[in-house]
Structure 1
């Protein structure tokens, strides 16, 4: 990427900076496409989450390149990357780090010394996060929410920017520990990866069975990531768009004003964090699309990954084969953009 765009990212002119973010996103997509075939929507959702400073849970069956996508994104952003393979015997200290006794060779004094765990990186790949017990899953809670870990009564700040990108397999439940709702709610997005098309799979087979392997070139680094996060928050959003987002979220909560299909199929609706993430993600979507303010179609582009893991369905929904994606789609159709409509 040219130094001109990197310079524009840091300029005070919001129009130039927004255009630079748009070009940056295109450059990142181009580099990722050297390794990943297709999955454009998935890659955009992961980038949106990172540009918002959020965390992403990636869900898909084995063999869909979940791990490869995340590691490739980290390479294009030139960020510190750490992979944690979650297993049933993984302990919290294996994630956050621990204190060890260290002897000073000059004085002979022994002191506790904190050894940082793999969570001290910019991008954390929490691979198969649902294979480890809740005690270890909870070790990520403070890191994800506060950007710090506490060990032995001392608080240690994590590097900035900090992103947790976790993966899980939805079809294999034996020997797994489903993430509790409190942990799920801390993920900004739940991204679901589907099978590639026939043409895409043909290209995947050709690339992975030949001797030619491409590597992505870093596009931006940590300072530029932090700058983009600030630019996202600076994007203006009109009050009627915020009110529309609130109507979408609040319609999932059970009361007499809820749509009938919500009352029939939902046991628990989305909380305030959904409203916050919906607006923040829409701002990021507008920015990487080259727009200077948020419009309803930006909300529509991000409402599924924001909402799908924050709505708890009841037995009726399971019996009728209704999932959260269908409910959110019906919600968009039944919720007017204009409150007077």
Structure 2
């Protein structure tokens, strides 16, 4: 792949110079409407060959050794010297080929020293302008390619960093979830053995989802809703009778993908801070899908002054909610809205755009 990219970097400027050569050295002379001496075409071929060679040397050695190392003075000095050397060699070749004499013979004129001098200045200036034009295009192409490579490397590094951070956030959420779930089953063993067995079976299904499904970046809405339902069933087993859980869904496209366990910290928070052993404790959880928009909403009361400071940047909020905020920012940047209100109760409203385009 790297070899192909290098060939690609070399091919584009060389093809560009070839097209430029056809324009300058072939089409324009042919537009004169008269036959040109053979020695003229030899001279044009030499100019093209030198420019092609200079371009190749610039791409392979000069630019990496000087331009990319920010040694600008040496870089442009070497190019200038190369341009002058090409002019000197071509002027000498013109003398050897007797191009001026060939043109004079065609026109029926006699070549004088003054004519040689005037033509020499004009040809030298013409060659220098062509060199500047070719090198300008060549350098611009090199810089654009370098910028694209650096941008690609930077984006790749940022992607790797995000993936590492997401993996770290998942590694924090999973043990936290396991700990809470095991506490739930442990509490049931003291009150109802049969129900604790049922809870263990339910926990096994949940753990399988956590260990295997969440290894992927995305899961289907159907799988995520099923997971939430199993988790709520498990939590209801250990909750007092006064806890009333209302879970409703309206999913139009269950095959749509979503980040796994994204809503779990909010649901855990409802049971952690919204349950009383003596007072009615309603917990409402709703998941609604409208085309590409997914809306999650949870409501619960707050008991025993357990107010969770989820807005503070200094205090340490629940690790689950804190990590969920970060996951939302990494996975759904500019495609989600999160509102958390704490007044008479605790309410979470989250809207996510599931379409990535």
Sort the TM-score into its range (normalised by shorter chain): under 0.3
TM normalised by structure 2 equals 0.23
Q: TM-score, normalised by structure 1?
A: 0.24
Select the structure of larger CA radius of gyration: 2
